[in-house]
Structure 1
Amino acid sequence: MFSISHKITSLTSATLLALSVAMPSMAQDAGLSTGTPIETNTVGRAYTLETHGDWEVRCINAPEGQVDPCSLYQLLKDEDGTEVAEVALFHVGSDEVEAAATFTTPLETLLTAQLALFVDGENGRRYPFQFCNRVGCYVRAGLTSDDVALLKKGAEGLVGIVPVGRTEEPVRLKLSLTGFTAGYAKVTELNEAAKNGEGPSAPDEIENTEEAPAE
């Protein structure tokens, strides 16, 4: 008596044999389709346009006919080198706000403690969190021209957040300022050009940079 596995093997062999016999006649059938290429949709994906020191000029591939928005981007690491948060900064150029910086932190961040930003251990400011989603929690900070000047001439920045349940153990994240001046100049150029409908061209191939939700 055949076992179940023997029956499956026999049926599979019979099917393959039938297909191999039918192949020559099937290949002559004009009704066969060879398929059509499927284009990968890269709209909404990020790509790195340039790198300046520890900063990336990162842009988002926009739909056809729209300008790719660009910002100055950096991953923020803790004292152990673990990637914890990120910041994306772009030029605004209004009378009160020179630039805008969006900080993304883990969902387990204590929102009431806010986010602290220092340059060279001084000039500290706190910024409130606006909202959270499945990716993380967000701070949208408006930077004055004086704030941007400090970042340009500073040696190192520091971002402080507080984890939920660990209020006595704030997390300190290094904000490297290496390459900030050149990177901000490029982003300013791109952001100003975007107002006139001009922007960078995305590369032919864009890697999928979709990130998992922050932990």
Structure 2
Amino acid sequence: MFRHLTLSTALALVLAGPLAAQDATATDETATDETPTDDAATGETATGETATEETATGETDAGAATETTDGAATDGGGAPSINDLSMGTPEGAQADGPGAPYVREEFGDWSLRCLRVEEGAEPCTLYQLLLDEDDNPVAEIALFPLPEGSEAVAGANFVAPMETYLPAGLRLTVDSGETLTYPFTFCSQRGFSPLLSSGCLARIGFDQAMVDRFKRGAAAQIVIVPALAPDQQVVLDVSLSGFTAGFDAQSANAPAQ
């Protein structure tokens, strides 16, 4: 904008040059007759301009005073707007928008975690956070339903620490039954949930027999091997308290396949 105005002004000055010269000549020829009249007009104009400037200055000062007063009221710690007040958020409350995760219900040591959707059944997983002997979060397991007719009736995502020795996989045992080994699929620094910032994922398929073992069992164990100590084992206890009720609730609310 400033460049445009400068060029326009320059052009106006160039074009006005000859006209100014003509006006100057005409003024010299009629100076004697018109001087008093011009002086009077000039005085009136100057007075008018001065008054206008004073009025504008007064308005500007008043506006500045208003702005200063408003700013002082805001910055000076006056009473805040009701929209600025926080009423607090209940513990465990989640966002209500589509795609927001929330805990729908607790079943013993398992929680049914779902994603809000605009319409239809919400996708949910049956979740448990696994802790070490010092109650530090180490891993997590989340079961989800699979379409009917497949060999696996449920799937599970198991997330282990990044420092896990992947070739050893993970070993799962329910009570004192048969031990099954599952491979890890991949690792990610971004993590798979808000509770674990990074980890390695094993995708597990549960047939009906394994689901029944989880329902009847008292406890399960998952064994992983640390990468820095491959001759050692990390044993994680998986509680089965509430599993049956949680799995049945998840199946009842599963989206239609």
Q: TM-score, normalised on structure 1?
A: 0.69
Amino acid across the alignment from 2:167: T
The aligned counterpart of 2:136 is 82
CA–CA distance in 1 between the matches of 2:205 and 2:170?
A: 13
Could you say which structure has the higher helix fraction? 2
Instruction: Give 1:181 deviation, angstroms.
Output: 0.4
Q: Which structure: greater strand fraction?
A: 1
1:1-150, aligned counterparts within 5 Å?
21-23=68-70, 42-62=97-117, 64-65=118-119, 67-92=121-146, 93-134=148-189, 135=191, 136-150=199-213
Q: 1:78 to 1:120 in 2, by over 3 A?
A: same
Q: Encode CA deviations 1:169-190: one digit per residue, 9 max, x unaligned.
A: 2111110000000000001111
Offset at 1:43?
Answer: 4.2
- What is aligned with 2:224? 161
Cα distance change on mapping 1:22 and 1:45 into 2, 3 Å: same
* Aligned length, in residue pairs: 166
For the residue of structure 2 that corresponds to 1:132, the secondary structure is: strand
Change in 2 beyond 3 A, CA 1:42/1:105: farther
Q: Deviations over 1:33-63 (max 9, x none)?
A: x9x99xx78444321101110000111234x
Per-residue deviation, 1:168: 1.7
- Asked if the contact 1:100–1:143 (Cα under 8 Å) also holds between the matched residues in 2, the reply is yes
Task: Give yes or no for contact 2:121–2:253 (8 Å, CA) kept in 1.
Answer: no
Which residues of structure 1 form unaligned runs of 5+? 1-16, 27-33, 197-215
Determine which of 166, 174, 181 is the counterpart of 2:244: 181
Which one scores higher on RCO, CA 8 angstroms, separation ≥ 6?
A: 1
Q: Over aligned residues, Cα RMSD in angstroms? A: 2.8
Take 1:183 and 1:115, find their aligned partners in 2: how far apart are those partners? Answer: 24
Question: Which ranges in structure 2 are unaligned for 5 or more consecutive residues?
Answer: 1-63, 74-80, 85-94, 192-198
Q: Whole-Å Cα distance in 2 between the matches of residues 78 and 21 of structure 1?
A: 59
The superposition leaves residues 79-107 of structure 1 with CA deviations (integer Å, 9 ceiling, x where unpaired) of 33221000110122334111101101111
Query: How does the TM-score come out when normalised to structure 2?
Result: 0.58
Aligned to 1:151: 214
Q: Please tell me the residue identity of whatever aligns with 1:174.
A: D
Please report how far the alpha carbon of residue 65 of structure 1 lies from its aligned counterpart in structure 2 after TM superposition: 4.3
CA distance in 2, matches of 1:49, 1:151: 22
Which residue type is aligned with residue 156 of structure 1?
A: A
Cα distance between partner residues in 2 of 1:41 and 1:71: 18
* Percent identity of paired positions between Structure 1 and Structure 2: 39
* 1:161/1:44 CA distance change after superposition, 3 Å: farther
